[in-house]
Homo-oligomer: A and B are copies of this chain.
Amino acid sequence: MDPYRVIEVKQSIFEDNNQDAERLRQQMKEEKTFLINLMSSPGSGKTTMLTQLIPRLKDELKIGIMEADIDSDVDAETISHQGVKVIQLHTGGMCHLDADMTRQGVMELGTKELDLVILENVGNLVCPAEFDTGAAMNMMILSVPEGHDKPLKYPLVFTVCDTLIINKIDVLPYFDFDMDKVTEFARRRNPDIRIFPICAKTGEGMDELAAYLKERAQNLK
């Protein structure tokens, strides 16, 4: 048996996405499952961050991961070694997930017994931000090499996320990345945004992030 399944999720063009999202959010709340929608650019370290987060939480929370990609199973394969439930969603070329595609993933994953489900969205700072997936929380990663001006250029994703992870802080000495500026620019989009500087490769900053997410998941908010 494969350690993970691959599901082709298809966009529903007849449904109202906001209604679908509210319905899924309500369903997950009733099941006491906390769903996080994780967004970022390609290559900012979503999957690597998850390999650091999972070991810090899996003894206390039952975790499921949904890996969304246009193609390939690279990420689900990586996560399948982490000892949590994982499923690969293929979007068939689509640049984002909507609420109904997320619901299809949730059904296939089987989330009733889970405390925390993380949807790793398609690597894209634009389109995923436009579609409410039904998650209880939107979280994003910006990595140091991408530059501190990204909240100016991709405003919506910084507006809809309440948690911003700054990854790859180990390479800060080699890039012109200003932590004060990124904080200022991100807060212009969302004054309440929580910012966690981390290095997913070494684990730096991951304890604080894990503690925060555990608390959010246990309070379901």
From B42, B70, B123, B153, A72 is in contact (CB under 8 Å) with B153
Q: How far is B127's CA from A125's CA once the two chains are assembled, in angstroms?
A: 11
The oligomer's copy count stands at 2
- How many chain A residues touch the partner (CB < 8 A)? 35
From B95, B144, B154, B156, A126 is in contact (CB under 8 Å) with B95
Q: Does A25 contact B (CB under 8 A)?
A: no
Q: Please choose the segment from A2-10, A27-35, A167-175 that sits at the chain B interface, where 4 or more of its residues have CB less than 8 A away.
A: A167-175
Residues of chain B within 8 A (CB-CB) of A144 are 145
Query: Can you sample 5 A-B contacts with CB below 8 Å?
Result: A41-B41, A43-B146, A74-B152, A93-B130, A123-B125
- Chain A positions near chain B (C-beta within 8 angstroms): 41-44, 69-72, 74, 93, 95, 122-127, 130, 143-147, 149-150, 152-156, 168, 170-171, 174-175
